[in-house]
Amino acid sequence: MSERKLDIIVVHAPEGTKARWVRHSQAQGLKLSDWIVAAVDRPPNKVTATPCPRCASVVLTADGPGGWQCAQCGLAA
Ligand SMILES: [Zn+2]
């Protein structure tokens, strides 16, 4: 087992939440705890000045590295 020191967090979530999170974590090949930490600690959304190719809105929000989504029409890339 790992020698690193760990904090323990107990989460009480609505029914079905854990099963959903487990599916997401397995889809990315992560342990549930590692997936939760990555999801919570991901970089905050950024606004760019790049026009959306669909609606030409200049309000684009980036969701972590390598992706963005238009806040107007929802187009994602
Ligand atoms: Zn758009």
Expressed in angstroms and rounded, the spacing between residue 21 Cα and the centre of ligand 1 is 29
Expressed in angstroms and rounded, the spacing between residue 40 Cα and the centre of ligand 1 is 26
Q: What is the value of pTM for the model shown? A: 0.51
Per-residue model confidence (pLDDT) at position 24: 87
Expressed in angstroms and rounded, the spacing between residue 13 Cα and the centre of ligand 1 is 33
Q: For the segment 32-48, what is each residue's pLDDT rounded down to a tens digit?
A: 998 888 777 766 666 66
Expressed in angstroms and rounded, the spacing between residue 43 Cα and the centre of ligand 1 is 22
Instruction: Give the C-alpha separation, 36 to 23, whole Å.
Output: 12
Residue 47's closest CA among 37, 38, 33, 57? 57
Per-residue model confidence (pLDDT) at position 18: 94
